Amino acid sequence: MNLIIPKNYENKLSVFQTQLAIKKLKDFFERQLAYELNLSRVTAPLFVNPETGLNDNLSGIEEPVSFKVDNNQEVQIVQSLAKWKRMALYNYKIKEKRGIYTDMNAIRKDEIPDNIHSYYVDQWDWEKVISKDDRNIDKLKEIVNRIYKVLRITDEYITDEYPMLSKKLPESIYYITSQELEDLYPNLNDKERENEVCKMHKAVFISQIGKVLKSGKSHDGRSPDYDDWELNGDILVYNPILNNAFELSSMGIRVDKDSLLKQLDKANKMERLKLDYHQAIVKEILPFTIGGGIGQSRLCMFFLEKAHIGEVQSSVWPKEMVSECSKNNITLL
């Protein structure tokens, strides 16, 4: 069982206060994010047809939950909406500099439950249209800075609402590539590197996730068919409750024709080119976009100073974990 028990852990909010705070926090952050990135809220699917290629393959090893519908047709519960959003921008005829966001709810049955991972995933999925000329690191950093601005405003808001909570975010976010991070800590694995850099800088954006580094390994896995591995990254913060790096968002500028073909080849996934979504990229039908996901329960867990994601979402946990949490003042919903 993977479980961190913080020493002398205390709940600063009661269970009912926590439920009220979750609503306040989500509503506030959502409004600020939509304003800062010029996003409009849309509805999104819970399941998709696998032949469309719209489901997220994540790191490539997770198996989607599926079931049969009319005429024995298979449908899959979404794992995220990374690809669906880009197709939606095309279908909705969204113009450059505008975008969409939605509530994404997913089941990831292959997750190993721990303090921050659950079979149930809830996040804000967002996507924005950019120009071809905006497919560069400067545009990526501009959007990261805007999201970080919203995180800092949220930090101010929630600590004003609940003075027993403390502010956690520094004034600015620190940028580092996955290769620079490996060079800095060559004897550590990727998660250990994240812990060290987050302890030092408190808020970090690690870019170029998925590409093969000098060591022959990648810093974490990333599906080859949505993010451009040269123009993506993760927003991580230092979590003082768990004393480690804490990922809040995965995001990036999406693949164009050239980067899609290059990455599918490197990942030995060229067979995906027959899928509708991939064909729309190769034929250059879809708009150029940037997008990502921001964990809703992760955000609440971080700002409300919770030790376990089960304190801010209802899910199913191993019996041993439930028992151990109960003994240590960790109240799972």
> Which sequence positions are flagged as catalytic?
56, 108, 123, 234, 247, 250
Which residue carries 């509503």 as its tokens?
A: 27
Cβ-contact 319, 21 below 8 angstroms: no
Cβ atoms within 10 Å of 90's Cβ, excluding its own: 14
Helix, strand, coil abundance in the chain, percent, nearest 5: 40, 25, 40
Structural tokens at position 130: 């950019």
Kindly list the strands in the beta sheet with 99-107, ordered across the sheet, starting from the edge strand earlier in the chain. 39-41, 99-107, 120-129, 289-295, 244-254, 227-239, 203-207, 174-177
**Count of other CB atoms within 10 angstroms of residue 170:** 14
Closest CA relative to residue 250, chosen from 104, 113, 119, 43? 104
Residues contacting 238, CB < 8 A, separation 6+: 168, 198, 199, 201, 202, 203, 244, 245, 246
- Is the Cβ–Cβ distance between 261 and 278 less than 8 Å? no
Nearest to 86 by CA among 228, 183, 193: 228
Q: Rounded to an integer, what distance in angstroms lies between the CA atom of residue 146 and that of residue 150?
A: 7
User: How far is the C-alpha of 190 from the C-alpha of 218, rounded, in Å?
Assistant: 9
Distance separating alpha carbons of residues 275 and 143, to the nearest angstrom: 30
